Amino acid sequence: MELVDVFKKRTRHPFRPRSSDIIGRIFGNFRRFPTPGDSLIMGETDFLEHQVYVVAQEKPKPEKLMHKADLRRLNYGMLTADEHSRILWLMSQLKRQDNENAYLVTFVDTYGADISMESARRFQAFFIAHLIREFLTVPIRSISIVLGEGGSGGALAIQVCDRRAAIEDTMYATAPPESLAAIIFRDASRISDALAISRPTPRDIRRFQVVDAIIPQTRKVDDADGLAANIRSYLTRTIRELSKIKIKKLMKEREKMAVAFGRTRSEGRFEVIRRLIERPFSLFHKPPPDIQVLAHGSVLNLADDYGDGNIVDPRHEYIKCGEGVAGGEGAGCGRLIRLKEYLENHQVCPFCGKRHVLDASGWINCLTDPGTFHEINRNLTVDDLLEDEDIIRSYREFLAKQQGRTPFKESLVTAEAQVYGIGVVMAICEFYFGGGSMGVVFGEKFHLAAEHAIQKRLPFISVCCSGGARLYEGIPALMQMVKTIDAVNRIKRHGLPYISILGDPSTGGAIASFAALGDVILSEPEALIVFTGPRVMQARGFEVDEALIHSDALAEISAETFDRQDYFHSIRGIHEVASRRRLRAVLAKYLELYRNTAGARMTGVARLLG
């Protein structure tokens, strides 16, 4: 069968066995835990004389979909923030008990995570990031099985286990093919082309180490008995194998797995990458590529006395608030602003306060001491990490279009720098390289920067300004969520502070991974902070009030997380919102707090030893 036929006729077959069908046939004494919705199955059972905990996503069965309202109520099988909170509760219980004779088994079958306003307002993206972190660190042997469709962070939230399998006619992708086609091709009907880019088949994802085993499917797609027998056989073999391996060793193997995501090229070439500081960074007094710069005598033929009584100085360049290249952007007050003053004000209009999406060089000027930003791993490219066959032609064309739009060579810029004299390591998204998208280079540079911070014993700062995963790379891009979360885990394990700054926009896999895990999370005002963008939410029929998913509104909810720790667990949302002009001082405040308390701890240790 053609790939698109497998997808339509088998992966999304309406009578394909659901999680409840398999659980009921394999685990005869399954004891179900209460859950806040119908899309999550959770409970415990006995299997091969072991205690087994089960977490499963449940797509609705056809008999439950009698009306359109049923589809909305059952949420297409996508887990809400409420349901993710319940899984976090289970993970917290597992961390407190002896799991030597216990196993965690998960079943993945979802388009993705719930994208409703209700879940967005309850920090859905943060729940996904915290769940991935828990699966990486929970001290229990774990197994995941992709039962039908695995989509985006909703699947990844429960899939990162010690052993990972997929049924042979399943699909696992960064985004559903209709969504990917709509984004890349502006045509949601080009599902076949989208699947070719996604590379979502079990053979593909096994090569990229997303799974390590493929379970045979039955000839008839609706044969629940046959499929359950195949899964039972896999679980029996895998549990017996894992029982011979110590849990601590498995936890170390999870770290190695996370670091390896996105590397398909042989180590020989990768070893020559220079990891030392490569060159100092000079301040760029250059606007982002979509800002239209106006000069005296330009084609617009500005008069010397143009606008509001202000005299245009022919020696300077200007921008018009709200006006971009080719008439884009919109809004703003329309006032002329001297370009130098606009850049020094961190691309915020001094008259009406309209902000432009800040590029990486703008964030550098905003946050760091002049002349202290020294870039590291500048020259790392996809050719250093991926085999030639993994870089499709359309991706090459995409990368070529990004050249020259920014002085940087990728969507993440990493460096050593200083903030009011305090040394730090920074990882800053470059929105003007592919929308700050997370690809394999992004994940690798983030990981290397974290290792650099650990080696130098420096605080780690990230700046999120991203649209999410780089769809052209397919499934390896999605797995960078795991890689960056593992990097954050390493930083915290070494006792170093991690401060996450959320710029506008902070969306997709970026906000659902590293950006949501800061010890302190700061944000600029009115930054869009949501897992799925408003346009996609509206296209899928969800009502959107964009003001409610901006940083100011979410910061108000964040204060409630302390009173509802049974629901939010360790999630605290946004700790503080500060203007771009104030962010550097606010950042320094938290860095000084760490430095002073760390010094006090070291003094106390010295006294004890002395």
Asked whether residue 343 carries a pLDDT value surpassing 60, the answer given is: yes
Rounded to whole angstroms, how far apart are CA atoms 453 and 460?
6
The residue written with tokens 């990844």 in the block is 156
Asked whether residue 61 carries a pLDDT value surpassing 90, the answer given is: no
Candidate from 25-29, 92-96, 194-198, 604-608 with smallest mean pLDDT? 604-608
Other Cβ atoms less than 10 A from the Cβ of 153: the count is: 29
Q: Using 50, 70 and 90 to split pLDDT, how confident is the model at 184?
A: confident
Confidence at residue 299, expressed as pLDDT on a 0 to 100 scale? 42
Q: Is 221 helix (H, G, I), strand (E, B) or coil?
A: coil
Mean per-residue pLDDT of the chain: 90
Rounded to whole angstroms, how far apart are CA atoms 422 and 363?
17
- The CB-side HSE value for 370 (13 A sphere, CA atoms) comes to 4
Q: Hey, CA dihedral for 325, 329, 330, 333, is it positive or negative?
A: negative
Report the run of H or E that residue 428 belongs to, with start and end. strand 422-429
Q: H-type helices in 271-407, by residue range? A: 339-344, 360-367, 382-385, 393-402
Confidence at residue 316, expressed as pLDDT on a 0 to 100 scale? 82
**Are 339 and 388 in a shared domain?**
no
Q: Using 50, 70 and 90 to split pLDDT, how confident is the model at 308?
A: low
Asked whether residue 313 carries a pLDDT value surpassing 90, the answer given is: no
Q: Using 50, 70 and 90 to split pLDDT, how confident is the model at 176?
A: confident
Other Cβ atoms less than 10 A from the Cβ of 455: the count is: 11
SS3 content of the chain, % helix, strand, coil (to 5): 45, 20, 35
Residue 282 domain-assigned?
no
Q: Is 251 helix (H, G, I), strand (E, B) or coil?
A: helix
- Of 288 and 591, the structure prediction assigns the larger pLDDT to 591
Residue 176 domain-assigned?
yes
**Are 525 and 469 in a shared domain?**
yes
Q: Using 50, 70 and 90 to split pLDDT, how confident is the model at 285?
A: low
Report, as an integer, the average pLDDT of 342-370: 93
Across the chain, how many H-helices and E-strands are there? 25, 20
Of 344, 371, 386, the domain-final residue: 344
Rounded to whole angstroms, how far apart are CA atoms 374 and 387?
30
Structure tokens at 249: 């060793």
pTM, two decimals, is 0.93
Residue 64 domain-assigned?
yes
**Are 377 and 309 in a shared domain?**
no
**Are 327 and 377 in a shared domain?**
no
Report, as an integer, the average pLDDT of 22-31: 95
Rounded to whole angstroms, how far apart are CA atoms 183 and 84?
27
pLDDT, tens digit, 9 for 90 and up, residues 572-589: 999 999 999 999 999 999
Residue 609 domain-assigned?
no
**Are 331 and 406 in a shared domain?**
no
The domain tally of the chain equals 3
Rounded to whole angstroms, how far apart are CA atoms 282 and 280?
6
Report, as an integer, the average pLDDT of 383-403: 92
Of 212, 241, 260, the domain-final residue: 260
Rounded to whole angstroms, how far apart are CA atoms 513 and 442?
13
**Are 92 and 223 in a shared domain?**
yes
**Are 26 and 104 in a shared domain?**
yes
**Are 184 and 100 in a shared domain?**
yes
**Are 418 and 539 in a shared domain?**
yes
Confidence at residue 265, expressed as pLDDT on a 0 to 100 scale? 79
Confidence at residue 271, expressed as pLDDT on a 0 to 100 scale? 45
For 597, phi and psi rounded to 5 degrees?
Answer: -70, -35
Of 238, 260, 282, the domain-final residue: 260
Range of the domain at 422: 360-602
Structure tokens at 309: 């009584």
pLDDT, tens digit, 9 for 90 and up, residues 461-514: 999 999 999 999 999 999 999 999 999 999 999 999 999 999 999 999 999 999
CATH code for position 33: 3.90.226.10
**Are 25 and 173 in a shared domain?**
yes
Residue 249 domain-assigned?
yes
CA dihedral 238, 242, 244, 245 (to 10 degrees): 150
- Of 606 and 343, the structure prediction assigns the larger pLDDT to 343
Q: Hey, CA dihedral for 597, 599, 605, 610, is it positive or negative?
A: negative
Confidence at residue 516, expressed as pLDDT on a 0 to 100 scale? 98
Q: Using 50, 70 and 90 to split pLDDT, how confident is the model at 147?
A: very high
Confidence at residue 605, expressed as pLDDT on a 0 to 100 scale? 47
Asked whether residue 423 carries a pLDDT value surpassing 90, the answer given is: yes
Under a CB-based contact definition with an 8 Å cutoff, are residues 502 and 529 in contact? yes
Q: Using 50, 70 and 90 to split pLDDT, how confident is the model at 268?
A: very low
Report, as an integer, the average pLDDT of 69-80: 77
Confidence at residue 385, expressed as pLDDT on a 0 to 100 scale? 94
**Are 235 and 329 in a shared domain?**
no
Confidence at residue 1, expressed as pLDDT on a 0 to 100 scale? 77
Residue 349 domain-assigned?
no
- Using DSSP bridges, classify how beta strands 317-324 and 336-338 pair: parallel, antiparallel or unpaired: antiparallel
**Are 437 and 554 in a shared domain?**
yes
